[in-house]
Amino acid sequence: MEPLVRMKKISKSFGPVQALRQVDLTLHQREVLGLVGDNGAGKSTLMKVLTGVYRPDEGEIYLNGQRVRFNSPYDSRNAGIEMVYQDLALAGNLHVAGNIFLGRELTKKYLGGLIKFLDHKGMAQEAARLLERLRVEIQSVDLKVETLSGGQRQAVAVGRSMGFNARVVIMDEPTAALAVTEVAKVLDLIRNLKEHDVSVILISHRMQDIFEVSDRIMVLRQGRKVGDLVRSQTTMDEVVALITGAQGEALQTVTEVA
């Protein structure tokens, strides 16, 4: 079966900086891929190529075997790929339901469509259902997002992406600023996404988080892919050695999951 996402030989430079060198990435259905590497390794750039923020200098992207060309995040979102940012994408002064439906508000029509009203009740019900499905504990969808904790915000952002029928959710450092109990909830959320047939790419410097939820771990170093490992067949020591280059260029464990 074709993988959900295949990125082939992606290269991207910013002036003299070669951020990505011939990088391949595969993401399968119902898979959590941990994407790791040192600062500046190219992780965020690779995800920005996948979401149409940047156009690659070279390389191709395939979704279910079909070549795609994303010119903007709008294109990738339409294809079911969502990037979750912890704060940026949410409107703090809006309530939870408002955020989940931001940009695609439900309306009620009267007089044969002559008058349209926002369907607040419908949006609140739908938002509550969505969060319940993801087993997110937020007391009320009427709470303003600015009153929520970092982990709860993360959950609302994921809920929003699910509302857009995402097939792939990308999370860039979702747990970096969170307390221990909140981290656990975000990791639960990632597992729940998988149960709902959503694949996840998780970028994190927290190796324990990566090992807790990933099926596979991909390592970038200085813009190159230096490892692609099945989680159950590797160790933190091995992954850290690949990140730092302690094992030299020779070690390249590429394991494809069927």
Enumerate binding residues for ligand ATP (CB under 6 A).
14, 17, 19, 37, 39-45
Query: Rule CB under 5 A: is residue 199 a binding residue for Mg ion?
Result: no
- Select from 23, 42, 44, 77 the one that contacts Mg ion (CB under 5 A): 44
Work out the number of other CB atoms within 10 angstroms of the CB of residue 139: 9
Partner whose binding site includes residue 39, from Mg ion, ligand ATP, none (CB under 5 to 8 Å by kind): ligand ATP
State in angstroms the smallest separation of the CB of 224 from ligand ATP: 12
* CB closer to Mg ion, 48 vs 216: 48
Q: Which is nearer to ligand ATP, 19 or 33 (CB)?
A: 19
Question: How many CB atoms within 10 Å of residue 180?
Answer: 7
253 φ/ψ angles, rounded to the nearest 5 degrees: -90, 100
Q: With respect to ligand ATP, which residue has the nearer C-beta, 37 or 98?
A: 37
By a kind-dependent CB cut-off of 5 to 8 A, residue 41 interacts, out of ligand ATP, Mg ion, none, with ligand ATP
CB closer to ligand ATP, 118 vs 177: 177
Among the residue ranges 26-34, 37-45, 117-125, 219-227, the one whose residues contact Mg ion (CB under 5 A): 37-45
42 binds, among Mg ion, ligand ATP, none (CB under 5 to 8 A by kind): ligand ATP
Q: How many CB atoms lie within 10 A of CB 177?
A: 13
State the nearest-atom distance from the C-beta of 38 to Mg ion, in Å. Answer: 10
Dist. CA 131–CA 138, nearest whole Å = 8
From CA 161, how far away is CA 164, in angstroms rounded?
5
Question: Whole-number minimum distance, CB 189 to Mg ion, in Å?
Answer: 20
* Structural contact between residues 163 and 101, judged by C-beta atoms closer than 8 angstroms: yes
Please answer whether residues 61 and 6 qualify as being in contact, where contact means their C-beta atoms are separated by less than 8 angstroms. Answer: yes
The single residue listed with the structure tokens 């070669």 is 18
Question: How far apart (Å, rounded) are the C-alpha atoms in residues 20 and 23?
Answer: 6
Using the minimum distance from each CB to ligand ATP, give the nearer residue, 35 or 97.
35
Neighbouring CB atoms inside 10 A of 256's CB total 10
- Min. distance of Cβ 18 from ligand ATP in angstroms? 8
Task: Scan for tokens 């450092």, then name that residue.
Answer: 173
Which residues lie near Mg ion (CB under 5 A)?
44
